[in-house]
Protein backbone atom coordinates (compact mmCIF):
# COMPACT_ATOMS: atom_id res chain seq x y z
CA UNK A 1 0.00 0.00 0.00
CA UNK A 2 1.19 3.54 -0.76
CA UNK A 3 2.59 5.36 2.28
CA UNK A 4 0.98 8.41 3.85
CA UNK A 5 3.65 11.12 3.71
CA UNK A 6 3.29 13.58 6.59
CA UNK A 7 4.05 17.30 6.52
CA UNK A 8 4.33 18.32 10.18
CA UNK A 9 3.82 21.96 11.22
CA UNK A 10 5.58 22.76 14.53
CA UNK A 11 8.36 20.91 16.32
CA UNK A 12 8.14 21.79 20.01
CA UNK A 13 5.96 19.95 22.57
CA UNK A 14 3.29 18.49 20.30
CA UNK A 15 5.55 18.49 17.26
CA UNK A 16 7.90 16.17 19.13
CA UNK A 17 5.04 14.03 20.41
CA UNK A 18 3.73 13.57 16.86
CA UNK A 19 7.16 13.01 15.27
CA UNK A 20 7.95 10.44 17.96
CA UNK A 21 4.62 8.71 17.33
CA UNK A 22 5.19 8.61 13.56
CA UNK A 23 8.65 7.13 14.12
CA UNK A 24 7.15 4.34 16.28
CA UNK A 25 4.49 3.31 13.75
CA UNK A 26 6.78 1.50 11.26
CA UNK A 27 8.43 -0.29 14.22
CA UNK A 28 5.29 -1.46 15.97
CA UNK A 29 2.42 -1.17 13.46
CA UNK A 30 4.45 -2.43 10.49
CA UNK A 31 1.80 -4.54 8.76
CA UNK A 32 -0.55 -1.63 8.14
CA UNK A 33 -0.35 1.57 6.06
CA UNK A 34 3.24 2.84 6.03
CA UNK A 35 3.78 6.39 7.26
CA UNK A 36 6.66 8.68 6.37
CA UNK A 37 8.01 11.70 8.18
CA UNK A 38 8.31 13.64 4.91
CA UNK A 39 8.61 17.41 5.54
CA UNK A 40 8.98 19.42 8.76
CA UNK A 41 7.71 23.01 8.79
CA UNK A 42 8.76 25.84 11.15
CA UNK A 43 9.44 29.52 10.76
CA UNK A 44 13.09 29.84 11.76
CA UNK A 45 15.35 28.17 9.16
CA UNK A 46 18.27 27.47 11.48
CA UNK A 47 16.27 25.95 14.34
CA UNK A 48 14.18 24.09 11.80
CA UNK A 49 17.21 22.28 10.34
CA UNK A 50 18.29 21.21 13.83
CA UNK A 51 14.77 20.05 14.68
CA UNK A 52 14.44 18.15 11.38
CA UNK A 53 17.68 16.27 12.07
CA UNK A 54 16.55 15.40 15.60
CA UNK A 55 13.00 14.43 14.68
CA UNK A 56 13.94 12.38 11.62
CA UNK A 57 12.74 14.55 8.74
CA UNK A 58 14.93 14.84 5.63
CA UNK A 59 13.09 17.83 4.09
CA UNK A 60 12.02 21.19 5.54
CA UNK A 61 9.81 24.13 4.65
CA UNK A 62 9.74 27.52 6.39
CA UNK A 63 6.33 28.56 5.08
CA UNK A 64 3.26 26.38 5.67
CA UNK A 65 1.69 27.87 2.53
CA UNK A 66 4.37 26.12 0.48
CA UNK A 67 4.15 22.99 2.60
CA UNK A 68 0.47 22.44 1.86
CA UNK A 69 1.08 22.71 -1.90
CA UNK A 70 3.91 20.17 -2.02
CA UNK A 71 3.44 17.10 -4.21
CA UNK A 72 5.50 14.93 -1.85
CA UNK A 73 3.09 15.37 1.08
CA UNK A 74 -0.27 13.58 1.52
CA UNK A 75 -1.28 14.73 5.01
CA UNK A 76 -0.72 17.93 6.96
CA UNK A 77 -0.32 17.51 10.72
CA UNK A 78 -0.83 20.82 12.56
CA UNK A 79 0.87 21.24 15.95
CA UNK A 80 1.25 25.04 15.83
CA UNK A 81 -0.57 27.09 18.51
CA UNK A 82 -4.34 27.18 18.22
CA UNK A 83 -4.71 30.54 16.43
CA UNK A 84 -2.85 29.07 13.43
CA UNK A 85 -5.03 25.95 13.09
CA UNK A 86 -7.83 27.34 10.94
CA UNK A 87 -5.78 29.12 8.29
CA UNK A 88 -3.38 26.21 7.82
CA UNK A 89 -6.15 23.59 7.81
CA UNK A 90 -8.28 25.47 5.27
CA UNK A 91 -5.31 25.90 2.92
CA UNK A 92 -4.35 22.24 3.31
CA UNK A 93 -7.92 21.11 2.62
CA UNK A 94 -8.05 23.38 -0.46
CA UNK A 95 -4.86 21.72 -1.69
CA UNK A 96 -6.58 18.32 -1.29
CA UNK A 97 -4.49 17.13 1.65
CA UNK A 98 -5.70 15.04 4.56
CA UNK A 99 -5.50 17.04 7.80
CA UNK A 100 -4.74 16.07 11.37
CA UNK A 101 -5.07 19.07 13.71
CA UNK A 102 -4.22 19.42 17.38
CA UNK A 103 -6.94 20.46 19.80
CA UNK A 104 -8.68 22.80 20.41
CA UNK A 105 -9.64 22.69 16.74
CA UNK A 106 -10.07 26.47 16.51
CA UNK A 107 -10.46 29.58 18.65
CA UNK A 108 -14.25 29.62 18.32
CA UNK A 109 -17.04 27.24 17.37
CA UNK A 110 -17.80 29.32 14.27
CA UNK A 111 -14.22 28.84 13.03
CA UNK A 112 -14.28 25.14 13.89
CA UNK A 113 -17.55 24.68 11.97
CA UNK A 114 -15.96 26.38 8.94
CA UNK A 115 -13.10 23.86 9.09
CA UNK A 116 -15.57 20.99 9.44
CA UNK A 117 -17.60 22.13 6.39
CA UNK A 118 -14.50 22.64 4.24
CA UNK A 119 -13.18 19.16 5.07
CA UNK A 120 -16.58 17.55 4.42
CA UNK A 121 -16.95 19.31 1.06
CA UNK A 122 -13.43 18.39 -0.05
CA UNK A 123 -13.85 14.80 1.16
CA UNK A 124 -10.41 14.71 2.79
CA UNK A 125 -9.64 12.74 5.93
CA UNK A 126 -9.80 14.97 9.01
CA UNK A 127 -9.06 14.25 12.65
CA UNK A 128 -8.59 16.33 15.78
CA UNK A 129 -5.98 15.54 18.44
CA UNK A 130 -8.05 14.28 21.36
CA UNK A 131 -5.35 11.76 22.22
CA UNK A 132 -6.61 10.82 25.71
CA UNK A 133 -9.45 8.81 24.22
CA UNK A 134 -6.76 6.58 22.69
CA UNK A 135 -5.58 5.37 26.11
CA UNK A 136 -6.45 1.63 26.04
CA UNK A 137 -8.33 1.97 29.35
CA UNK A 138 -10.69 4.55 27.86
CA UNK A 139 -11.30 2.41 24.76
CA UNK A 140 -12.13 -0.44 27.13
CA UNK A 141 -14.45 1.84 29.13
CA UNK A 142 -16.27 2.68 25.90
CA UNK A 143 -16.63 -1.04 25.08
CA UNK A 144 -18.04 -1.83 28.52
CA UNK A 145 -20.56 0.99 28.15
CA UNK A 146 -21.51 -0.05 24.59
CA UNK A 147 -21.90 -3.67 25.74
CA UNK A 148 -24.46 -2.52 28.32
CA UNK A 149 -22.29 -3.38 31.34
CA UNK A 150 -22.89 0.00 32.99
CA UNK A 151 -26.54 0.30 31.98
CA UNK A 152 -28.30 3.62 31.97
CA UNK A 153 -25.76 6.33 32.84
CA UNK A 154 -26.69 8.77 35.59
CA UNK A 155 -23.46 10.67 36.21
CA UNK A 156 -20.32 11.76 34.37
CA UNK A 157 -17.69 13.45 36.55
CA UNK A 158 -14.53 14.73 34.89
CA UNK A 159 -11.67 16.94 36.01
CA UNK A 160 -8.31 17.91 34.58
CA UNK A 161 -5.99 19.51 37.11
CA UNK A 162 -2.50 20.98 36.70
CA UNK A 163 -0.41 23.38 38.82
CA UNK A 164 2.16 25.06 36.58
CA UNK A 165 1.01 28.71 36.51
CA UNK A 166 0.33 29.33 40.21
CA UNK A 167 3.41 31.57 40.61
CA UNK A 168 2.22 35.10 39.70
CA UNK A 169 5.68 35.78 38.24
CA UNK A 170 5.22 32.96 35.72
CA UNK A 171 5.18 34.82 32.39
CA UNK A 172 2.33 35.38 30.01
CA UNK A 173 3.07 32.48 27.64
CA UNK A 174 0.80 31.96 24.62
CA UNK A 175 -1.47 29.67 26.63
CA UNK A 176 -2.49 32.79 28.61
CA UNK A 177 -3.27 34.94 25.57
CA UNK A 178 -6.84 34.65 24.29
CA UNK A 179 -5.94 35.78 20.77
CA UNK A 180 -3.57 32.80 20.47
CA UNK A 181 -5.28 30.04 22.46
CA UNK A 182 -8.99 30.99 22.47
CA UNK A 183 -9.45 30.13 26.15
CA UNK A 184 -7.34 29.12 29.14
CA UNK A 185 -7.83 26.01 31.27
CA UNK A 186 -11.10 25.34 29.45
CA UNK A 187 -9.61 24.92 25.96
CA UNK A 188 -6.27 23.56 27.10
CA UNK A 189 -7.52 20.90 29.53
CA UNK A 190 -11.31 21.01 29.63
CA UNK A 191 -11.49 20.22 25.90
CA UNK A 192 -10.05 16.74 26.55
CA UNK A 193 -12.58 16.06 29.33
CA UNK A 194 -15.47 17.26 27.15
CA UNK A 195 -14.28 14.99 24.35
CA UNK A 196 -14.08 12.04 26.75
CA UNK A 197 -17.60 12.82 28.00
CA UNK A 198 -19.03 12.90 24.47
CA UNK A 199 -17.10 9.74 23.54
CA UNK A 200 -18.34 7.79 26.54
CA UNK A 201 -21.75 9.26 27.40
CA UNK A 202 -22.99 11.16 24.31
CA UNK A 203 -24.06 14.66 23.35
CA UNK A 204 -24.33 17.50 25.86
CA UNK A 205 -27.49 19.60 25.62
CA UNK A 206 -26.91 22.51 27.99
CA UNK A 207 -24.36 23.85 30.44
CA UNK A 208 -24.07 26.17 33.40
CA UNK A 209 -20.55 27.37 34.04
CA UNK A 210 -18.28 29.55 36.13
CA UNK A 211 -14.82 30.80 35.27
CA UNK A 212 -12.19 32.85 37.02
CA UNK A 213 -8.76 34.39 36.48
CA UNK A 214 -6.78 34.34 39.73
CA UNK A 215 -3.68 36.18 38.45
CA UNK A 216 -4.86 39.10 36.38
CA UNK A 217 -1.50 40.42 35.10
CA UNK A 218 1.76 38.68 34.26
CA UNK A 219 5.23 39.63 33.02
CA UNK A 220 5.68 39.57 29.27
CA UNK A 221 8.30 37.33 27.62
CA UNK A 222 9.86 37.65 24.21
CA UNK A 223 10.71 34.03 23.50
CA UNK A 224 8.44 31.29 24.67
CA UNK A 225 7.19 27.85 23.94
CA UNK A 226 3.90 26.41 25.01
CA UNK A 227 4.69 25.72 28.66
CA UNK A 228 7.67 27.87 29.53
CA UNK A 229 9.42 31.17 29.11
CA UNK A 230 11.47 33.48 31.32
CA UNK A 231 10.67 37.13 31.86
CA UNK A 232 13.33 39.64 32.97
CA UNK A 233 12.86 41.31 36.37
CA UNK A 234 11.84 44.63 34.77
CA UNK A 235 9.58 43.06 32.13
CA UNK A 236 6.37 44.97 31.44
CA UNK A 237 3.13 43.34 32.56
CA UNK A 238 0.15 42.45 30.46
CA UNK A 239 -3.41 41.55 31.29
CA UNK A 240 -4.31 37.84 31.36
CA UNK A 241 -7.49 37.51 29.31
CA UNK A 242 -8.21 33.79 29.69
CA UNK A 243 -9.68 31.65 32.47
CA UNK A 244 -7.28 30.20 35.05
CA UNK A 245 -10.02 27.84 36.17
CA UNK A 246 -13.34 26.74 34.69
CA UNK A 247 -16.11 24.56 36.07
CA UNK A 248 -19.53 23.65 34.77
CA UNK A 249 -22.45 21.36 35.22
CA UNK A 250 -24.11 19.84 32.18
CA UNK A 251 -27.14 17.91 31.05
CA UNK A 252 -26.58 15.19 28.46
CA UNK A 253 -29.22 14.40 25.83
CA UNK A 254 -29.59 10.99 27.49
CA UNK A 255 -30.68 12.65 30.73
CA UNK A 256 -27.34 12.03 32.48
CA UNK A 257 -25.81 14.78 34.61
CA UNK A 258 -22.25 16.01 34.08
CA UNK A 259 -19.80 17.75 36.40
CA UNK A 260 -16.64 19.23 34.85
CA UNK A 261 -13.58 21.07 36.20
CA UNK A 262 -10.39 22.34 34.54
CA UNK A 263 -7.66 24.31 36.28
CA UNK A 264 -3.94 25.00 36.20
CA UNK A 265 -4.03 26.14 39.86
CA UNK A 266 -4.37 22.81 41.70
CA UNK A 267 -1.12 22.53 43.66
CA UNK A 268 0.33 19.03 43.51
CA UNK A 269 -1.61 17.95 40.43
CA UNK A 270 0.65 17.60 37.39
CA UNK A 271 -1.41 16.14 34.55
CA UNK A 272 -4.28 14.83 36.59
CA UNK A 273 -7.19 13.96 34.34
CA UNK A 274 -9.84 11.93 36.17
CA UNK A 275 -13.12 10.55 34.94
CA UNK A 276 -15.90 8.68 36.69
CA UNK A 277 -19.12 7.30 35.28
CA UNK A 278 -21.95 5.95 37.42
CA UNK A 279 -24.68 3.88 35.82
CA UNK A 280 -27.58 1.65 36.79
CA UNK A 281 -25.51 -1.56 36.61
CA UNK A 282 -22.04 -0.33 37.44
CA UNK A 283 -19.42 2.40 37.59
CA UNK A 284 -16.11 3.15 35.87
CA UNK A 285 -13.16 5.23 37.08
CA UNK A 286 -10.01 6.39 35.25
CA UNK A 287 -6.98 8.48 36.26
CA UNK A 288 -4.63 9.47 33.47
CA UNK A 289 -1.50 9.36 35.64
CA UNK A 290 -2.31 5.65 36.14
CA UNK A 291 -3.44 5.21 32.56
CA UNK A 292 -2.79 1.46 32.38
CA UNK A 293 -5.60 0.83 34.87
CA UNK A 294 -9.38 0.99 34.56
CA UNK A 295 -11.50 0.67 37.71
CA UNK A 296 -14.82 -1.11 37.32
CA UNK A 297 -17.62 -1.80 39.79
CA UNK A 298 -20.37 -4.18 38.73
CA UNK A 299 -23.64 -4.31 40.66
CA UNK A 300 -24.24 -7.60 38.81
CA UNK A 301 -21.46 -9.40 40.71
CA UNK A 302 -22.65 -11.82 43.39
CA UNK A 303 -23.81 -10.11 46.60
CA UNK A 304 -20.97 -10.32 49.10
CA UNK A 305 -18.39 -10.37 46.28
CA UNK A 306 -19.04 -6.91 44.96
CA UNK A 307 -16.32 -4.29 44.98
CA UNK A 308 -14.18 -2.07 42.77
CA UNK A 309 -11.87 -4.13 40.58
CA UNK A 310 -8.79 -2.73 38.90
CA UNK A 311 -8.39 -3.97 35.33
CA UNK A 312 -4.81 -3.73 34.17
CA UNK A 313 -5.18 -3.09 30.44
CA UNK A 314 -1.71 -4.38 29.53
CA UNK A 315 -2.55 -7.62 27.75
CA UNK A 316 -2.97 -8.39 24.08
CA UNK A 317 -6.74 -8.69 24.42
CA UNK A 318 -6.94 -4.96 25.21
CA UNK A 319 -7.13 -2.26 22.52
CA UNK A 320 -3.80 -1.65 20.70
CA UNK A 321 -1.84 -3.80 23.17
CA UNK A 322 -0.97 -6.58 20.75
CA UNK A 323 1.26 -4.02 18.99
CA UNK A 324 3.37 -3.18 22.04
CA UNK A 325 4.85 -5.25 24.85
CA UNK A 326 4.17 -8.37 26.93
CA UNK A 327 1.57 -8.00 29.72
CA UNK A 328 2.52 -5.62 32.52
CA UNK A 329 5.12 -3.73 30.44
CA UNK A 330 3.17 -0.52 30.68
CA UNK A 331 2.75 2.25 28.11
CA UNK A 332 2.32 6.01 28.62
CA UNK A 333 1.45 9.43 27.22
CA UNK A 334 3.53 9.08 23.99
CA UNK A 335 1.69 5.95 22.88
CA UNK A 336 -1.66 7.78 22.82
CA UNK A 337 -0.28 9.83 19.91
CA UNK A 338 0.90 6.68 18.12
CA UNK A 339 -2.62 5.24 18.43
CA UNK A 340 -4.37 8.36 17.14
CA UNK A 341 -1.99 8.85 14.21
CA UNK A 342 -2.16 5.14 13.38
CA UNK A 343 -5.97 5.39 13.14
CA UNK A 344 -5.72 8.58 11.10
CA UNK A 345 -3.23 7.14 8.57
CA UNK A 346 -5.16 3.88 8.21
CA UNK A 347 -8.46 5.59 7.60
CA UNK A 348 -7.02 8.28 5.33
CA UNK A 349 -5.38 5.59 3.16
CA UNK A 350 -8.60 3.59 2.95
CA UNK A 351 -10.89 6.58 2.37
CA UNK A 352 -12.74 5.97 5.65
CA UNK A 353 -14.09 8.61 8.04
CA UNK A 354 -11.76 9.43 10.96
CA UNK A 355 -12.73 9.75 14.59
CA UNK A 356 -12.59 12.11 16.44
CA UNK A 357 -13.20 14.21 13.33
CA UNK A 358 -13.37 17.95 12.76
CA UNK A 359 -17.11 17.56 13.44
CA UNK A 360 -16.21 16.31 16.94
CA UNK A 361 -13.75 19.21 17.33
CA UNK A 362 -16.51 21.62 16.35
CA UNK A 363 -19.02 20.10 18.85
CA UNK A 364 -16.44 20.45 21.63
CA UNK A 365 -15.86 24.07 20.58
CA UNK A 366 -19.63 24.70 20.71
CA UNK A 367 -19.76 23.33 24.25
CA UNK A 368 -16.80 25.51 25.30
CA UNK A 369 -18.39 28.62 23.77
CA UNK A 370 -21.60 27.78 25.65
CA UNK A 371 -19.67 27.44 28.93
CA UNK A 372 -18.06 30.87 28.42
CA UNK A 373 -21.39 32.52 27.61
CA UNK A 374 -23.04 30.83 30.55
CA UNK A 375 -20.30 32.03 32.91
CA UNK A 376 -20.73 35.60 31.62
CA UNK A 377 -24.52 35.47 31.88
CA UNK A 378 -24.53 33.46 35.11
CA UNK A 379 -27.24 31.27 33.57
CA UNK A 380 -27.82 27.96 31.78
CA UNK A 381 -26.98 28.06 28.05
CA UNK A 382 -28.08 25.60 25.36
CA UNK A 383 -25.16 24.18 23.37
CA UNK A 384 -25.22 25.66 19.86
CA UNK A 385 -26.89 28.89 21.03
CA UNK A 386 -23.64 30.82 20.49
Residues that bind ligand NAD (CB under 6 A): 9-15, 41-43, 64, 79-82, 84, 102-103, 129, 131, 188, 225-226
Shortest distance in whole angstroms from residue 229 CB to ligand NAD: 9
Q: Which is nearer to ligand NAD, 47 or 308 (CB)?
A: 47
The phi, psi pair for 20, rounded to 5°, reads: -60, -45
CB 306 within 8 A of CB 300: no
Shortest distance in whole angstroms from residue 304 CB to ligand NAD: 42
DSSP element (H, E) containing 367: helix 358-377
| Separation of alpha carbons 377 and 214, rounded Å | 19
**Residue 287 forms beta bridges with which residues?**
274
Q: Which is nearer to ligand NAD, 9 or 112 (CB)?
A: 9
Q: Which is nearer to ligand NAD, 174 or 214 (CB)?
A: 174
Q: Which is nearer to ligand NAD, 144 or 264 (CB)?
A: 264
Shortest distance in whole angstroms from residue 317 CB to ligand NAD: 27
Nearest to 87 by CA among 59, 67, 60, 57: 67
Residue 335: count of CB within 10 angstroms of its CB:
24
**Residue 237 forms beta bridges with which residues?**
219
CB 127 within 8 A of CB 340: yes
| Separation of alpha carbons 183 and 367, rounded Å | 12
Q: Which is nearer to ligand NAD, 48 or 140 (CB)?
A: 48
CB 373 within 8 A of CB 211: no
Q: Which is nearer to ligand NAD, 3 or 334 (CB)?
A: 334
- Start-end of H helices in 9-135: 13-28, 45-55, 64-69, 85-94, 109-122
Shortest distance in whole angstroms from residue 83 CB to ligand NAD: 8
Shortest distance in whole angstroms from residue 9 CB to ligand NAD: 5
Shortest distance in whole angstroms from residue 157 CB to ligand NAD: 21
Cα end-to-end span (Å), the chain: 44
Q: Which is nearer to ligand NAD, 226 or 319 (CB)?
A: 226
| Separation of alpha carbons 271 and 377, rounded Å | 30
Q: Which is nearer to ligand NAD, 41 or 115 (CB)?
A: 41
| Separation of alpha carbons 146 and 23, rounded Å | 33
134 to each of 8, 18, 277, how far by Cα in Å?
20, 14, 18
Shortest distance in whole angstroms from residue 250 CB to ligand NAD: 22
Residue 270: count of CB within 10 angstroms of its CB:
11
Q: Which is nearer to ligand NAD, 10 or 282 (CB)?
A: 10
Q: What DSSP string describes 170-181?
A: S---GGG-HHHH
Shortest distance in whole angstroms from residue 15 CB to ligand NAD: 5
Shortest distance in whole angstroms from residue 228 CB to ligand NAD: 9
Amino acid sequence: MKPIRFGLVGYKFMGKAHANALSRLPMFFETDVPVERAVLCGRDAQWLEQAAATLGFSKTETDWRKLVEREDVDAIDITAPSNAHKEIALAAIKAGKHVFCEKPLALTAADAREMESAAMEAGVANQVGFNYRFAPALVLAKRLIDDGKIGRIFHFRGSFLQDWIIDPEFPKVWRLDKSVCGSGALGDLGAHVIDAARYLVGEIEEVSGAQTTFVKERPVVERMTGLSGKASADAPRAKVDVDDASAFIARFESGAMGLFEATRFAQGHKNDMRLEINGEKGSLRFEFERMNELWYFSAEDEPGEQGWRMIQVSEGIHPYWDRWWPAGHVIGFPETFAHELYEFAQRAAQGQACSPSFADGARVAEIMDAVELSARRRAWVAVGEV
